């Protein structure tokens, strides 16, 4: 139904509120994959996923590049699990 509404029909306040939707949905999708294991329990703090997420957040903050963020997180995760 939302796809049937044109942008011209939405007011400025609705557009401003909808601008925050990606910022709210992204953590809701990503954080359970990092902090919860297959059995629904929180993982230990020494899990490689946490360290890879920290590296990705730092690289993303300084580089402002999504490709660099994804690659740094993946490479650091692979490095940690294979060592």
**pLDDT for position 3:** 67
- For 4-62, the pLDDT digits (tens) are 777 677 788 888 888 888 888 988 999 999 999 989 999 998 999 999 999 999 999 99
- The predicted model scores a pTM of 0.73
In this model, does residue 70 exceed pLDDT 70?
yes
Long-range (24+ apart) CB contacts under 8 A made by 48-56 are 48/77, 48/80, 48/81, 49/77, 51/76, 51/77, 51/80, 52/76, 52/77, 52/80
């Amino acid at each position: 139904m939302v796809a049937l509404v044109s942008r011209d029909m939405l007011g400025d306040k609705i557009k401003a509120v909808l601008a925050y939707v990606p910022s709210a949905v992204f953590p809701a999708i990503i954080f359970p994959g990092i902090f919860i294991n297959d059995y629904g329990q929180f993982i230990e703090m020494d899990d490689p996923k946490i360290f890879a997420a920290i590296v990705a957040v730092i690289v993303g903050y300084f580089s402002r590049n999504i490709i660099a963020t994804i690659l740094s997180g993946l490479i650091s995760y692979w490095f940690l699990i294979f060592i």
